[in-house]
Structure 1
């Protein structure tokens, strides 16, 4: 980064509402491939971390 550069904390203000509707879906097989790579036992374990954006 150039000297004197500072992050603009307002850069993405208000953009969260558009993330979910504008986000492309994961590629087919992504969840299964990730679960296998992480050594998870899908679908039970993978469901514990897969929440929609902004989910509780």
Structure 2
């Protein structure tokens, strides 16, 4: 599986929160699903360009 997120960026964004090790994998899976859904929406609309509205 490709890594879509940067752990250090997530940790910086969450400031003072602790982050469990399994959180990063779950977040990465969510991002992968989001990308798949956006790609499908673009294809369903006969576009090869994924746009913000596909999210």
TM bucket, shorter chain: under 0.3
- More helix by proportion, 1 or 2? 2
Q: TM-score, normalised by structure 1?
A: 0.25
TM-score (norm. length: structure 2): 0.25
Q: Which has the larger radius of gyration?
A: 1
